[in-house]
């Protein structure tokens, strides 16, 4: 099987801080960022009913039927099965980015069994294993499960599901002998980021990284557009249940300074007309 030598993989349980850490590392080291969660609606739109039967079946269910009503064990199984179906779409996206700088791919649906055969080396992959308390605290801070009639029950079930998913990742990782990192809150964000930076260092040093300011601006602009497409599709999906004022989205600064880690929060409604997103340092 072909390996995706230009991809660094960051998987792990929900609420481990993957997105935050991947974003900080990508900006700091000038890597292309691929957030699997930014492609949820994109992948659903691209699904083929024959190749992705579960994705197809779920696409016709309501949010409650799909994400809230089933027991936690079923939600976990469903998540794993959908992730397995989606993986070939993720690989296709990553292949399409093979000619550029290293890509840091991040998401909860990246399981060791699928990723390990494609990863170039141990320094190209890592799974974060949050303790239940740490994961739940982070997920709750995001606003938890939306659009459920009984938000507290939905949140509890989601937390149960997340613990099961982390256990599956841990078992797969143990069996395959791939690297993991326990996230329990004993290190702060900057310390955790530095640990990850050291882990990935051999892969990052081998490169290639974003080569100049023009390429950086183009990459961050493309990532912002990917994020925007996801947010817009989600607001459409919410329809009448969408909040009157859309929650602000944190976009990457699109300046030409390598290593820039700045972000700009704005309403997704304002993004289309905003032109280049530039943090105040510009
Ligand atoms: Zn900047």
Q: Where are the beta strands (DSSP E) in the chain?
A: 7-12, 32-35, 103-106, 125-130, 180-183, 249-252, 263-266
Estimate the share of the chain in helix, then strand, then coil, as percent rounded to the nearest 5: 55, 10, 35
- At 2 the pLDDT is 62
Rounded to the nearest whole angstrom, what is the distance from the C-alpha of residue 253 to the centroid of ligand 1?
5
CB 10 within 8 A of CB 104: yes
| Mean pLDDT within 5-30 | 96
Residue 143 pLDDT greater than 80, yes or no: no
Q: Any idea what DSSP says for residue 116?
A: G
pLDDT attached to residue 31:
98
What is the CA(277)–ligand 1 centre distance, in A? 9
pLDDT value of residue 64: 86
Cα 251 to averaged position of ligand 1 atoms, centre (Å): 11
For residue 4, the CA-to-ligand 1 centroid distance in Å is 29
Q: Regarding beta strands 125-130 and 7-12, do their DSSP bridges make them parallel or antiparallel, or are they unpaired?
A: parallel
Quick one: which H or E segment has residue 172? helix 151-176
Instruction: Please give the share of the chain, as a percent, with pLDDT higher than 90.
Output: 82
Whole-number Å distance, alpha carbon 70 to ligand 1 midpoint, is 44
Nearest partner of 105 among 11, 42, 211, 41, judged by Cα: 11
Provide the CA 76 distance to its chain's centre, in angstroms.
Answer: 17
Whether 195 and 24 have beta carbons less than 8 Å apart is answered as no
CB 64 within 8 A of CB 154: no
What pLDDT shows up at residue 144?
A: 46
pLDDT at residue number 148: 62
Residue 207 Cα to ligand 1 midpoint, Å, equals 22
What's the angle, vertex CA 12, arms to CA 162 and CA 79, rounded to 5? 50
Angle between helices 132-141 and 151-176 in degrees, nearest 10: 130
How far does the centroid of ligand 1 lie from the alpha carbon of residue 247, in Å? 22
Higher pLDDT, 281 or 122: 122
Residue 163 CA to ligand 1 centre (angstroms) = 37
Confidence at 146, pLDDT banded by 50, 70, 90: low
281 CA to centre of ligand 1 in angstroms: 7
- In the chain, what is the straight-line distance between the N-terminal and C-terminal CA atoms, in Å? 45
Is the pLDDT assigned to residue 265 strictly greater than 90?
yes
* Residue 248 CA, ligand 1 centroid: distance in Å: 19
Residue 255, phi then psi, degrees to nearest 5? -75, 180
260 CA distance to ligand 1 middle (Å):
5
pLDDT tens, residue by residue, 119-136: 999 999 999 999 999 888
CA of residue 97 to ligand 1 center, whole Å: 23
> What pLDDT is attached to residue 145?
46
Largest CA distance in the chain: 50
- Exposed, middle or buried, 77 (CB in 10 Å: 0-12/13-18/19+)? middle
d(CA 107, CA 122): 18
Residues 6 or more apart whose Cβ sits within 8 Å of residue 264? 250, 251, 252, 253, 277, 278, 279
Number of residues that this document lists for the chain? 282
Dist. CA 221 → ligand 1 center (Å): 12
Q: Write down the pLDDT at residue 140.
A: 82
> Distance from the CA of 213 to the center of ligand 1, in angstroms?
10
> What's the CA-to-centroid distance between 275 and ligand 1, angstroms?
14
Which pLDDT band, with edges at 50, 70 and 90, does 83 fall under?
very high
Q: Each residue of 191-207: pLDDT tens digit? A: 999 999 999 999 999 99
213-242 confidence digits (pLDDT tens): 999 999 999 999 999 999 999 999 888 888
Query: Ligand 1 centroid vs 36 CA: distance in angstroms?
Result: 24
pLDDT surpassing 80 at residue 46: yes
| In the chain, % of residues over pLDDT 70 | 96
Q: Mean pLDDT of all residues in the chain?
A: 93
- Helical (H) or strand (E) element with 20: helix 18-29
Over 80: is that where the pLDDT of 245 sits? Answer: yes
């Amino acid at each position: 099987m072909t390996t995706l030598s230009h991809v660094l993989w960051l998987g792990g349980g929900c609420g481990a801080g993957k997105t935050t850490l991947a974003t900080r590392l990508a900006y700091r080291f000038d890597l292309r960022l691929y957030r699997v969660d930014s492609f949820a609606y994109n992948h659903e739109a691209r699904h083929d009913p024959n190749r992705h039967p579960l994705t197809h079946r779920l696409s016709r269910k309501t949010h409650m039927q799909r994400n809230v009503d089933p027991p936690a064990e079923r939600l976990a199984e469903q998540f794993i099965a959908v992730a397995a179906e989606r993986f070939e779409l993720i690989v296709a996206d990553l292949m399409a980015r093979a000619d550029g700088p290293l890509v840091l791919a991040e998401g909860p649906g990246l399981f060791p069994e699928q990723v390990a055969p494609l990863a170039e080396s141990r320094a190209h992959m890592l799974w974060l294993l949050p303790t239940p308390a740490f994961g739940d605290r982070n997920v709750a801070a995001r606003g938890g499960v939306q659009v459920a009639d009984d938000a507290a029950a939905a949140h509890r079930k989601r937390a149960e599901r997340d613990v099961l998913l982390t256990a599956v990742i841990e078992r797969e990782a143990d069996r395959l002998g791939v690297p993991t990192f326990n996230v329990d809150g004993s290190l702060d964000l900057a310390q955790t980021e530095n640990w990850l930076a050291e882990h990935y260092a051999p892969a990052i040093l081998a490169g290639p990284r974003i080569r100049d300011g023009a390429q950086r601006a183009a990459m961050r602009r493309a990532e912002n557009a990917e994020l925007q497409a996801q947010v817009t599709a989600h607001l459409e999906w919410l329809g009448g249940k969408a909040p009157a004022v859309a929650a602000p989205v944190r976009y990457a600064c699109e300046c030409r300074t390598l290593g820039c880690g700045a972000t700009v929060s704005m309403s997704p409604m304002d993004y289309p007309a905003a032109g280049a997103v530039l943090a105040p340092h510009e």
